[in-house]
Amino acid sequence: MVEQERGVHRELTEHDVQEMILLAARLRESHGSELDDDAIQAVSEATSIPADYVRIALASTPAVERRGGLSRLRSLYLSFDPNVRRYVASSWLASVAGFLGAIGSVFGDPSSFLGIATIVCVLGALWNCSQARDSRVASICGALFGGLWFVSNAAFLFLYSFWLNTDGSPPILLLLYIALGAIGGGVARRLVDRSLSRLGMRDTADNRQELLRQLVELQDRLTTGERSMTFLCVDVAGSTKMKEGAEPLDVEFTFTEYHRYVESVIRRHGGTLHSTAGDGVTVAFDDPAAAFRAARNLQSGLIELNTHRNRLGVPIRLRIGMHAGTVIVAGQDVQSVNFAHVIDIAAHLQKVCPIGGVAVSEAAAQGVPGGSTSIGEETVAAQDVSAIVWRPRVEVALGTATSP
């Protein structure tokens, strides 16, 4: 539903647009008038096109342009976002109320017609505020009505002053009008909401729209956390056999040194430890080039680890998978990323990577200087993702320290 509302993960084709226009035209013919919010939402759901796109398309179709001026204005009004429509209605009602007040001040109102019309404008403004999506929008509508009512009244009185002597209201009252309008709008919205809730008359479509709004806001917050990152999945090949028959203290010492070695290398290249699982380590980098340098360093530096800090009699040898993609990070906490597809692919590439090599996916290779040609010629694949394998040009015998 969020993707439908926002349309961020779906590209609209010409066929989609034509289908939407055709459906909207049929609904318009059956209604005999322009489409309201419910009809626009129905078109949006039927075609999987965001409602805002539907409004824009309907406002620019030739069928609308052939109508009269009032129909064009109504079509333009309906093409606005619902909140914007509330603001426009408040502004229009305030202008009318200000004009009526100015006429009454200049010519008087013996029949009370102008006063009644002004009251109708105020009631219309309160109803407009009560139909807002939330109290914040209702308060803004009320404040807009109060402020523009005062300003428009002062503007009309200023124009009349060229022919007649009139006295306007003190400018400080503008703040009072705005405050009273904001309070009145917010109160009207809450009273209507409470009344409908008590009577069980709250429209389910409104509830659905409110849920959609909350989901869109959540999506906005999640989208702000999107980051392009590169992950390395590192694992020790044959670690189970290495531990068989070995002294527990030697196993504990050797693999503790191994983890220290990995952490020192990734820190040196600007990486962040994401997680560990047994002998496996997952590392995150912002830069694919830095991740690739770290992966090569991990492989080439094993000779020192095995010579001086390995007490198992069997050299530690690594498989490394590397993949890049977009993940959603909460703040700066990379460890909050737990179920990202990019990590899964890196783990699968690590499993098919030759011992002593680094399997670099094509997506990650694009961020490496020189691209895939600078990595190697051998390729592997996992989960329909192909990768280029880097191997050291010179194989160095990995010695091991002897246990004291």
State pLDDT tens for residues 210-241.
Answer: 555 555 555 555 555 677 899 999 999 998 88
269 against 403, higher pLDDT: 269
The single-letter DSSP state of residue 334 is G
Q: What is the pLDDT of residues 238-274, one digit of tens each?
A: 988 888 888 999 999 999 999 999 999 999 999 999 8
Quote the CA–CA distance of 28 and 23 in Å, as a whole number.
Answer: 9
Nearest partner of 135 among 192, 179, 190, 198, judged by Cα: 190
253 against 83, higher pLDDT: 253
* 8 Å CB contact between 94 and 149: yes
Predicted confidence band of residue 7 (pLDDT cuts 50, 70, 90):
very low
Residue 270, pLDDT score:
92
Evaluate if residue 35 carries a pLDDT over 70: no
User: How high is the mean pLDDT of the chain?
Assistant: 76
Average pLDDT of the residues in 75-91: 74
* 8 Å CB contact between 97 and 114: no
Predicted confidence band of residue 64 (pLDDT cuts 50, 70, 90):
very low
Share of the chain above pLDDT 70, in %: 64
Predicted confidence band of residue 298 (pLDDT cuts 50, 70, 90):
very high
Evaluate if residue 121 carries a pLDDT over 90: no
Residue 78, pLDDT score:
60
Average pLDDT of the residues in 74-78: 62
Quote the CA–CA distance of 51 and 87 in Å, as a whole number.
Answer: 19
* 8 Å CB contact between 367 and 374: no
Quote the CA–CA distance of 89 and 87 in Å, as a whole number.
Answer: 5
Least confident window among 113-117, 166-170, 287-291, 301-305: 166-170
First to last CA, the chain: 64
Evaluate if residue 370 carries a pLDDT over 70: yes
Evaluate if residue 29 carries a pLDDT over 60: no
Least confident window among 97-101, 154-158, 217-221, 339-343: 217-221
Least confident window among 110-114, 196-200, 350-354: 196-200
Residue 366, pLDDT score:
93
Average pLDDT of the residues in 387-396: 78
Q: What is the pTM of this model?
A: 0.47
Residues in the chain: 404
- Tokens in use for 262? 């990995």
Residue 63, pLDDT score:
47
Residue 268, pLDDT score:
92
Residue 150, pLDDT score:
85
Average pLDDT of the residues in 359-386: 92
* 8 Å CB contact between 115 and 104: yes
* 8 Å CB contact between 71 and 63: no
- Tokens in use for 358? 């680094």
- What number of other Cβ atoms are within 10 A of residue 246's Cβ? 17
Residue 167, pLDDT score:
59
